Amino acid sequence: MNIQVKYGSITKPLEFLPSPTADGLYNGQMIPTRVGSYYLLLNGTIQGQKGTTTASDNMRPELQGIVSQMANQIDSVKNVIGGLAKNNADTLKSIQDVKNAADRSYMIAMVGIGAGIAGIVIAAFSLSRKRTIEL
């Protein structure tokens, strides 16, 4: 028996093994990643009878619940990642603002030092050219 699982346009083989707990039952393992209809395509022979069958029933309710929980958890993780990305962007903006403020402070300090040096030069020049006034 060739058994495949189909979801939309994606088809993948599925291996069925005899059940260890019940005679005549077979188990196949898959992890559904999306909510929706999964189809089983059965090709081959069962007890000598040939045939092709498509089992198109929706997933059992407990599987739908598990897939829904997984989808909700994925959405939650996406939301957390989105929040982290926003926090990261806010942090980078804050760092850039601090850098800009430090650059402005540095510029003001350099202008102040330059004005101070200019004042000292002017004072030294005027002291060296001191004139005496005679009455």
Q: What is the tens place of the pLDDT at every residue in 30-78? A: 887 777 777 877 777 766 666 555 554 445 565 666 667 777 888 888 8
Domain that holds residue 36: 2-59
- Tell me if 109 is assigned to some domain: no
- Tell me if 23 is assigned to some domain: yes
- Tell me if 44 is assigned to some domain: yes
- Tell me if 94 is assigned to some domain: no
Pairing outcome for strands 10-13 and 16-18: unpaired
Q: Write out the two tokens for 69.
A: 């929980």
**DSSP character at residue 133:** -
Residue the block writes with tokens 């760092």: 95
- pTM for the whole thing? 0.41
In total, how many domains does the chain have? 1
Taking CA atoms, 46 is separated from 9, 12, 24, 71, in Å, by 27, 21, 12, 36
For the chain, give the mean pLDDT. 81
pLDDT at position 133 is 61
